[in-house]
Structure 1
Amino acid sequence: MSNHVTELIAFTIDSSDAGRLAQFYADLTGGEVTGVYPEYGYAQASVLGATLNFQTVQDYTRPQWPGQDQPQQYHLDLRVGDLEGASDHARSLGASIADTQPEGATWRVMLDPDGHPFCLCP
């Protein structure tokens, strides 16, 4: 038997509202919310063949991108066919376009409703 890790089960993201953020990412990607457990402050979404978990954190503090006073902690890179259409879709779900964009970038940095950065990449 191997001592290596054999499977990534899920990626867990801190949030001010786990159920809301699970729904945001499900709607953004065409995925689905597979569980919301408010008694545990936990929610789960099936997204692009992966599982994202969300946990509600009391006194959650939004990341500040690109500054590091409150670091981003992680970001997701998501492939899109139409950058403008995907940006508009994300904004309709509650995301915002980050004020700071990388110089000459062909991708767009967005912020989810809790301030986590994610990139839309054509």
Structure 2
Amino acid sequence: MTVTARLFAITVDCPDPAQLARFYQAFLGGELRSASRDFVVLTSDDAVRLDFQRVANHQPPPWPDSSAPRRLHLDFCVENLAQAEQHLLDLGATLAPHQPGGRRFRVLIDPAGHPFCIATAAAAEVPGRTLDSSTP
């Protein structure tokens, strides 16, 4: 049987969904919707929405602690890396102390402690090689 699916949302665990949703709305635009104080949705014209869900025991993931379990992080393509970085810092993000991307991308930390990246178009390009079932 073939199952067809599409990604419609990415849910971000956090201590304050409304606050974190407003941070990302200020960066990305879109509209906020909520049915409760524990869950906020950021919608936009993009196919994938961002959901923010209250988690009482939320612990920000350590960056770049390699002994900590890795988690999902968000990557955003921006036209001007320096302008986007400054805008995000003004909104309350912090620049991560470890920057592995050089001039191609920046790692920032959102107000709830999640690392995320902003990247140039060149850094956001899909790698050229197609993987198949025999590719390791």
Distance change in 2, residues 1:116/1:36 (3 Å): farther
Give the structure 1 partner of residue 125 of structure 2. Answer: none
Structure 2 length normalisation: TM-score? Answer: 0.78
Counting only pairs closer than 5 Å after superposition, residues 107-118 of structure 1 correspond to structure 2 as: 107-118=105-116
Distance (Å, rounded) in 1 between the aligned partners of 2:90 and 2:113: 15
Alignment partners' CA distance in 2, 1:27 and 1:48: 15
**Structure 1-normalised TM-score?**
0.86
State the shift of 1:36 in Å: 5.4
Using the TM superposition, give the Cα deviation of residue 11 of structure 1 relative to its aligned residue in structure 2, in angstroms.
1.0
> Does the 8 Å CA contact 1:14/1:55 hold for their aligned counterparts?
yes
- What root-mean-square deviation, in Å, do the aligned CA atoms of Structure 1 and Structure 2 show? 1.9
Cα deviation code 1:1-36 (max 9, x no counterpart): x64132222111100111111111111112221225
Are 2:23 and 1:58 equivalent residues in the alignment?
Answer: no
Runs of 4+ in 1 over 6 A off after TM superposition: none
| 54-63 or 102-111, which deviates more | 102-111
Superposition map of 1:1-122 within 5 A: 3-35=2-34, 37-38=36-37, 41-47=38-44, 49=46, 50-102=48-100, 104-122=102-120
Once the two structures are superposed, residues 25-67 of structure 1 have per-residue CA deviations (whole angstroms, 9 ceiling, x without a partner) of: 11111222122521xx111101461211111111211111111
Structure 2 gap ranges (5+): 121-136
Percent identity between the two aligned chains: 36
